[in-house]
């Protein structure tokens, strides 16, 4: 059936900010969908609050609403745009839930908007626990014994009836939020009350635990003529009990006979038909009893998912793009397979390699959180590696993870040989982010596969393969590098051993290994990901490396530039950098230069095969990157867009003679090296907070005393403020320096004067070596001391004086020119008492580049790419700075609700996973939109609780007055209450927790508080204020932890009183 001609305008809902379980895979799917629908001539309207996405690029959709994704705001977009149809299956759970609400409230009927791909009853049938289970039973498929409950009492009764442990699964939540494994009644009680609260429908399922069963997934696609194909099978290495997003997973399934696989395939097809997903992709999860093969259905997602992004990258089959085309009426046999060109999308990809995905965790950011994996997802990113064998892919994935490991152990790092046997066994038994290391240690000690299997429930097939890696590791240890034969060395490489591991195991250097390898002619070959195991010729240059005979990659004669990506997402390095890499590829295409992308993150747009001319899906280590460079001999390599990952390679690449384009590695070093940076600023007569570099505790103490408390302390060369602290006393310095690796005489510790109550300013600029253009000046709402990635900010600055703005511009230009920046530069300033301080200069793409580009309409990353290719800003038509008349506000989004016991207080260490943008002609409304987009619905009435530290009292006073004026009642603890009383602001006093009941927690529990403002000094000061913040988080009461944040919220509330929120496409603003 050809495409539908009865619909013309289609609304796509995106997934909003990056959060745990909803990351850039939905930018990948959304961007593909927008492109696919535009290609077919449809008018596409998009709503997504996340400015760091490719899908919200103004040239992509016809109209792009960077507005909060709430039913109310989407309704406004519908009112304004009057689309014929809504496509809800490409924006994750956010889009799906929003679409359901729009349907239920009658908005879709009222405006005659058709839901494509999956109707509302279909979504309900798939997502509603009870409906789904009934549907499965109707088609003869088994589901684990369970009970759907809506009250705590029923949950407890269900637990008793089913028998512990049980799994708690709230309905309609993301990534298993609020769920988990309850081993006893007490855990069930806690989990149930939390889960009931989080569920959109106050519904949870208490389910029989299938802990230890094997877990599989199938990606299914269906078209409107009921043709169904399976795109990919995935086997989880971690058994049931660990969320699939947190599991190491492998494609295709490894331990199923064809009979068992086909049984699963039949089930998946029956499910997509029974649930009634009309068109598009779905994901079905299965559990298999390893003893007898009994098959149970766990769940199905009637939309594209994280797994479908992985399946797309693992097979080369673009699920989201095809899903979009199926949604408008095409059938699978009408859509050409891009890769083979000759064949159609109605087939099932077959692969001739092994794919391993390993999740990336960030427990180090949340030391209070327990590093235990369960059914609620906790990882923030993932990496994928492709090899011809599981062993090769697994080791490649381990080094792609960028956690400092060179493969599966064997690199001399983080030795676990000190562990007692029982500790090792516990580490194996309890799934955690570190379990892989425990596996290595257990195998190294010779623990049997049977024993490890009993502890971990990991299928023996995986364990045997890991055992083979460790056995070869032991063999390598016995060898002398120079005496190593060609066959043996080749075998090591085929087992995925990196040069770093081989150097460690043979006591030689990486260079020795590399030299020997090259001498013996052991270099990788590159093979194609082609959907068909070489049965047909393929045309998309999507490669992975392996050590075999035939190389399929060939160097073209075109001018070519390699872009190094950012690897797996982590806090501090995420979609913003991928956005820049993608723009670099687009810019190169515009000027006719071949782009070669190297990255290891399957969730991204950068690893879409049609983003660049060539894609190498490879680890971003020096060895792997140099191997590609040896083959491709690019004219230039871009390292300044992918965040810290490529930057860390810059010096070594430059030393190897690789042409790094743009700002020179020496200039980067000049900005990053403390001493050199100081000299640089002195030369320009610019000011920085007093600072020093120390190596020992004694030095630290004397330096801090010299500079004067409070001070900021941190290790050098860090990302996202890792381990950065504000220290107020000598005791704080002692604690900090006592941390492992701090006072080791090798790695310097930086101490800076902390500028209290200073305003922080972020500037993004572009420079062609001669001329500098300021891209945007962003004034932070939170004061200096809060990591810039966690601060909300306003563009243009809302309180800075014109003189100061001019001073900032001049300083920025002076620094760019002195550093010889060619490309992008980001500067962080602090303004205290009208004095300007330079905090940091980064001559590279920053996290705020996409935000600035969206707010101003200037595609900074693209222009920077062209500048790096030798064009001038003038040639690019950027001769003056863009001034905007509207306001753009960036707000950060945090994962606190995913981690128990974690304080929500902000500090110098970055904790946010994503960001949203609020854009409006009115500052207050832009602020309100940013809050709403970040998931905070600002109250319009009720009680506001204020408890602020002394230093914040003055700052909060005016806001308190305005709250009273807006008819809010104020509640405050003793100190704050008496301060307000002194200034004639009426307020009720409430007990602190330590002052006896009823206290503030009781008020919060009773939902008598509409907004919590609680500021505190430093890290987790008093137990009281921590418990208040945590209660606010858990009870989902809006909360603010800085006085400046509170002031801006009041501004937003005032604006909301005067006018309601409107929607405007980004194309209107720029």
Task: Scan residues 403-462 and list those touching another protein (CB under 8 A).
Answer: 459-461
Task: List C-alpha distances in Å: 45 to 50, 58, 100, 184, 360.
Answer: 15, 11, 19, 49, 33
Smaller CB separation from another protein, 277 or 625: 277
The distance of closest approach from Cβ of residue 289 to another protein in the complex, given in angstroms and rounded to an integer, is 8
Least distance in angstroms from the C-beta of 266 to another protein: 6
* Spatial distance between the Cα atoms of 922 and 934, rounded to a whole number of angstroms: 18
CB of 442 to another protein, least distance (A): 17
CA distance 406 to 1034: 39
* 151-173 b/e (C-beta count within 10 Å ≥ 16 → b): eeebbbebbeebeebbbbbbbbb
Provide the token pair at 493.
Answer: 């490489």
Judged by CB under 8 A, does residue 274 bind another protein? no
Residues between 515 and 544 with contacts to another protein, criterion CB under 8 A: 527, 532-537
What is the DSSP track for 130-167? HHHHHHHHHTT-----EEEESSHHHHHHHHHHH-SSEE
Listed ranges 119-127, 225-233, 580-588, 989-997: which one lies at the site for another protein (CB under 8 A): 225-233
* Interface with another protein in residues 971-990 (CB under 8 A): none
Cα-based distances in Å from 507 to 398, 476, 477? 21, 11, 9
- 5 forms part of the interface with another protein (CB under 8 A): no
Element (H or E) spanning 280, and its range?
Answer: strand 280-288
Sign of the C-alpha dihedral, residues 600, 604, 609, 615?
negative
Residues numbered 683-702 forming contacts with another protein, rule: CB under 8 A: none
Minimum CB–partner distance for residue 459 and another protein (Å): 6
Among 241-249, 290-298, 594-602, 802-810, the segment contacting another protein (CB under 8 A): 290-298
How many residues in the shown chain lie near another protein by CB under 8 A? Answer: 56
Is residue 960 packed enough to be buried (19+ CB in 10 Å), middle (13-18) or exposed (0-12)? buried
Which residues lie closer than 8 Å to 826 by C-beta, 6 or more apart? 762, 763, 764, 765, 841, 842, 844, 845, 846, 848, 849
* Comparison of 390 and 829: residue with beta carbon closer to another protein: 390
Q: Could you list the beta-strand ranges (E) of 506-549.
A: 525-528, 542-546
| Residues in contact with 908: Cβ distance below 8 Å, sequence separation at least 6, in sequence order | 712, 714, 721, 724, 725, 726, 785, 786, 787
CB closer to another protein, 169 vs 527: 527
Asked if 222 is part of the footprint of another protein (rule: CB under 8 A), the reply reads no
By beta-carbon proximity to another protein, the closer residue of 266 and 950 is 266
Please identify which residue in the block is written with the tokens 């792609």: 400
Looking at residue 128, the DSSP 8-state letter turns out to be S
Q: Given the complex with another protein, which of 544 and 579 has the nearer CB atom? A: 544
Cβ proximity to another protein, 351 vs 926, nearer residue: 351
Task: Output the smallest distance, CB 637 to another protein, in A.
Answer: 29
Residue number with CB closer to another protein (408 or 1039): 408
Query: Which ranges in 316-459 belong to alpha helices (H)?
Result: 319-327, 390-400, 421-429, 435-444, 449-456
Q: How far is the CB of 352 from another protein (least distance, A)?
A: 4
Tell me how long the chain is.
1070
Cβ at position 548, least distance to another protein in Å: 4
Rule CB under 8 A: say whether 227 interacts with another protein: yes
Q: 3-state class of 544 per DSSP? A: strand
Choose the stretch contacting another protein; rule: CB under 8 A; options: 331-339, 765-773, 946-954, 960-968: 331-339
Binding residue for another protein, selected from 2, 41, 163, 293, defined by CB under 8 A: 293
Could you tell me the CA-to-CA distances from 311 to 218, 232, 315, 532, 1038 in Å, in that order?
9, 6, 6, 14, 38
Strands 525-528, 542-546: pairing kind: antiparallel
Closest approach of another protein to the CB of residue 901, in Å: 38
> In whole angstroms, how close is the CB of 496 to another protein at the nearest point?
12
Tell me if 371 contacts another protein by CB under 8 A.
no
Residue with tokens 């709402």: 781
- Choose one: 197-205, 247-255, 664-672, 1059-1067; the region binding another protein (CB under 8 A): 247-255
* Closer residue to another protein (CB): 388 or 583: 388
72 near another protein, judged by CB under 8 A: no
Is 296 among the residues that bind another protein (CB under 8 A)? no
Smaller CB separation from another protein, 353 or 968 = 353
From CA 263, how far away is CA 261, in angstroms rounded? 5
256 binds another protein (CB under 8 A): yes
Phi, psi for residue 468 in degrees, rounded to 5:
-65, -35
The residue with tokens 């209107």 is 1068
Span from 162-170, 501-509, 546-554, 664-672 in contact with another protein (CB under 8 A): 546-554
d(CA 203, CA 154): 11
> Please, which residue, 259 or 746, has the CB nearer to another protein?
259
Residue from 13, 196, 253, 628 binding another protein (CB under 8 A)? 253
The residues in 603-632 that bind another protein, with binding defined as CB under 8 A, are: none
Within 565-709, strands assigned E span 594-599, 614-617, 636-638, 691-694
Using CB under 8 A, which of 3, 40, 197, 261 touches another protein?
A: 261
Strand blocks (E) in 639-758: 691-694, 711-715, 725-727, 749-753
Residue 342 is a binding residue for another protein (CB under 8 A): yes
Q: Closer CB to another protein, residue 464 or residue 983?
A: 464
Closest to another protein by CB, 529 or 580? 529
Distance in angstroms (rounded) separating the CA atoms of residues 564 and 240? 36
> Could you say which residues in the range 346-365 bind another protein, by CB under 8 A?
346-354
Residues 372-401 within binding reach of another protein (CB under 8 A): 388-390
Minimum distance from residue 249 beta carbon to another protein (Å): 15
Residue span binding another protein (CB under 8 A) among the ranges 71-79, 327-335, 989-997, 1029-1037 = 327-335
What is the edge-to-edge ordering of all strands in the sheet holding 180-182?
146-149, 204-208, 166-170, 180-182
332 binding another protein? (CB under 8 A) = yes
CB-based contact 243:305 (threshold 8 Å): no
When asked if residue 1008 is in the footprint of another protein (CB under 8 A), the reply is: no
Rounded Cα–Cα distance for residues 599 and 643 (Å): 12
291 makes contact with another protein (CB under 8 A): yes
Q: Which string of x and - marks every residue 453-492 that binds another protein (by CB under 8 A)?
A: ------xxx--xx---------------------------
Q: How far is CA 240 from CA 91, 203, 359, 433, 557, in A?
A: 26, 22, 16, 16, 50
**Three-class DSSP category at 233:** strand
Instruction: Verify binding: residue 229, another protein, rule CB under 8 A.
Output: yes
> Residue from 40, 187, 370, 548 that binds another protein (CB under 8 A)?
548
Q: Which of 290, 659, 715, 939 binds another protein (CB under 8 A)?
A: 290
Are 653 and 622 a contacting pair, CB within 8 Å? yes
User: Is 827:815 a contact under the CB 8 Å cutoff?
Assistant: yes
CB of 558 to another protein, least distance (A): 24
344 binds another protein (CB under 8 A): yes
Q: Smaller CB distance to another protein: residue 228 or 638?
A: 228
Q: With binding defined as CB under 8 A, does residue 178 bind another protein?
A: no
The minimum distance between CB 229 and another protein, in angstroms, equals 6
Kindly list the residues in this chain that would bind another protein in the complex (CB under 8 A).
Answer: 225-227, 229, 233, 252-262, 265-266, 290-293, 331-333, 342-344, 346-354, 388-390, 459-461, 464-465, 527, 532-537, 548-550, 552
């Amino acid at each position: 059936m050809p495409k539908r001609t009865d619909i013309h305008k289609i609304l796509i809902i995106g997934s909003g900010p990056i959060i745990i379980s909803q990351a850039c895979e939905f930018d990948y799917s959304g961007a593909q969908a927008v492109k696919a629908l535009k290609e077919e001539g449809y008018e596409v309207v998009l709503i997504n609050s996340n400015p760091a996405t490719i899908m919200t690029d103004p040239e992509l959709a016809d109209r792009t609403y960077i507005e909060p994704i709430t039913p109310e705001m989407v309704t406004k977009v519908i009112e304004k745009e009057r689309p014929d149809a809504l496509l809800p299956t490409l924006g994750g759970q956010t889009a799906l839930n929003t679409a359901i609400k729009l349907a239920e409230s009658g908005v879709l009927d009222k405006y005659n908007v058709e839901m494509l791909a999956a109707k509302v009853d279909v979504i309900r049938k798939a997502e509603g626990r009870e409906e789904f289970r009934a549907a499965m039973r109707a088609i003869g498929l088994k589901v684990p014994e369970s009970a759907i409950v809506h009250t705590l009492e029923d949950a407890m009764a269900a637990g008793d009836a089913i028998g512990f442990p049980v799994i708690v699964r709230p309905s309609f939540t993301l990534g298993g939020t609020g769920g988990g494994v309850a081993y006893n009644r007490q855990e069930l009680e806690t989990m149930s009350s939390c889960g009931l609260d989080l569920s959109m429908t106050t519904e949870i399922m208490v389910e029989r635990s299938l802990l230890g069963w094997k877990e599989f997934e199938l990606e299914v696609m269906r078209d409107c003529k009921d043709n169904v194909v399976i795109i990919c099978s995935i086997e989880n290495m971690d058994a049931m009990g660990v969320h699939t997003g947190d599991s190491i997973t492998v494609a295709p399934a490894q331990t199923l006979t064809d009979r068992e696989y086909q049984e699963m395939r039949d089930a998946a097809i029956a499910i997509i038909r029974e649930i009634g997903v009309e068109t598009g992709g779905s994901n079905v999860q299965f559990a298999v009893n390893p003893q007898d093969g009994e098959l149970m259905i766990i769940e199905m997602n009637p939309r594209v998912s994280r797994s479908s992004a992985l399946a797309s990258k693992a097979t080369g089959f673009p699920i989201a793009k095809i899903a979009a085309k199926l949604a408008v009426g095409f059938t699978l046999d009408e859509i050409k397979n891009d890769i083979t060109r000759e064949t159609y999308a109605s087939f099932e990809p077959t692969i001739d390699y092994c794919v391993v995905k390993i999740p990336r965790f960030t427990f180090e950011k949340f030391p209070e959180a327990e590093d235990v994996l369960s059914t609620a997802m906790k990882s923030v990113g993932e990496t994928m590696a492709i090899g011809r064998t599981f062993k090769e892919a697994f080791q490649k994935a381990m080094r792609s993870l960028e956690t400092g490991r060179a493969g599966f152990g064997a690199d001399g790092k983080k030795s676990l040989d000190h562990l007692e046997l029982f500790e090792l066994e516990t580490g194996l038994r309890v799934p955690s982010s570190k379990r892989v290391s425990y596996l290595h240690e257990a195998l190294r000690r010779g623990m049997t596969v049977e024993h490890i299997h009993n502890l971990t429930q990991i299928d023996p097939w995986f364990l045997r393969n890991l055992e083979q890696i460790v056995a070869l590791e032991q063999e390598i240890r016995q060898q002398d590098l120079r005496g190593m034969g060609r066959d043996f060395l080749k075998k090591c490489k085929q087992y995925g051993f990196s040069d770093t591991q081989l150097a460690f195991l043979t006591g030689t250097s990486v260079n020795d290994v590399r030299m020997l390898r090259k001498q013996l002619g052991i270099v990788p070959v590159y093979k194609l990901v082609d959907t068909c195991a070489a049965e047909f010729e393929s045309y998309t240059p999507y490669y992975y490396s392996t050590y075999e005979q035939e190389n399929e990659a060939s160097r073209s004669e075109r001018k070519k530039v390699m872009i190094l990506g950012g690897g797996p997402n982590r806090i501090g390095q995420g979609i913003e950098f991928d956005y820049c890499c993608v723009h670099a590829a687009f810019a190169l295409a515009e000027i006719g230069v071949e782009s070669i992308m190297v990255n290891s993150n399957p969730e991204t747009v950068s690893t879409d095969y049609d983003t660049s001319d060539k894609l190498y899906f490879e680890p971003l280590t020096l060895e792997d990157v140099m191997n590609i460079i040896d083959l491709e001999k690019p004219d230039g390599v871009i390292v300044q867009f992918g965040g810290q990952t490529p930057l860390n390679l810059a010096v070594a690449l430059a030393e190897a003679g690789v042409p790094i384009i743009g700002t020179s590695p020496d200039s980067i070093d000049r900005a990053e090296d403390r001493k050199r940076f100081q000299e640089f600023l002195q030369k320009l007569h610019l000011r920085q907070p007093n600072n020093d570099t120390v190596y020992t505790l004694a030095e630290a103490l004397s330096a801090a005393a010299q500079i004067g408390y409070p001070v900021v302390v941190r290790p050098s060369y860090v990302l996202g403020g890792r381990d950065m602290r504000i220290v107020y006393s000598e005791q704080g310095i002692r604690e900090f320096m006592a941390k492992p690796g701090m006072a080791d005489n090798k790695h310097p510790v930086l101490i800076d004067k902390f500028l209290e109550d200073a305003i922080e300013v972020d500037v993004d600029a572009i420079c062609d070596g001669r001329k500098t253009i300021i891209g945007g000046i962003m004034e932070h709402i939170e004061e200096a001391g809060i990591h810039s990635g966690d601060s909300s900010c306003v563009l243009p600055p809302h309180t800075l004086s014109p003189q100061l703005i001019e001073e900032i511009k001049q300083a920025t230009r002076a620094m760019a020119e002195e550093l010889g920046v060619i490309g992008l530069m980001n500067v962080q300033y602090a303004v205290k008492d009208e004095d300007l301080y330079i905090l940091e200069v980064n001559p590279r793409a920053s996290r705020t580049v996409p935000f600035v580009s969206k707010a101003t309409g200037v595609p900074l990353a693209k222009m920077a790419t062209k500048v790096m290719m030798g064009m001038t800003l003038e040639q690019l038509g950027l001769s003056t700075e863009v001034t905007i008349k509207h306001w753009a506000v960036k707000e950060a989004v945090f994962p606190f609700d995913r981690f128990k016991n974690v304080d929500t207080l902000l500090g110098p260490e970055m904790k946010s996973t994503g960001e949203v943008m609020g854009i409006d002609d009115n500052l207050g409304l832009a602020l309100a939109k940013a809050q709403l987009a970040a998931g905070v619905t600002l109250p319009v009435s009720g009680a506001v609780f204020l408890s602020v530290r002394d230093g914040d009292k003055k700052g909060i006073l005016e806001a308190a007055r305005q709250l009273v004026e807006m008819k809010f009642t104020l509640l405050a603890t003793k100190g704050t209450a008496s301060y307000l009383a002194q200034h004639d602001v009426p307020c009720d006093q409430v007990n602190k927790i330590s002052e006896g009941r009823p206290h503030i927690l009781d008020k919060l529990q009773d939902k008598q508080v509409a907004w919590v403002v609680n500021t505190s000094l430093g890290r987790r000061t008093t137990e009281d204020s921590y418990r208040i913040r945590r209660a606010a988080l858990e009870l989902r009461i809006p909360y603010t932890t800085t006085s400046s944040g509170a002031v801006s919220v009041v501004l937003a509330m005032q604006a909301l009183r005067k006018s309601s929120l409107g929607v405007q496409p980004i194309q209107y603003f720029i």
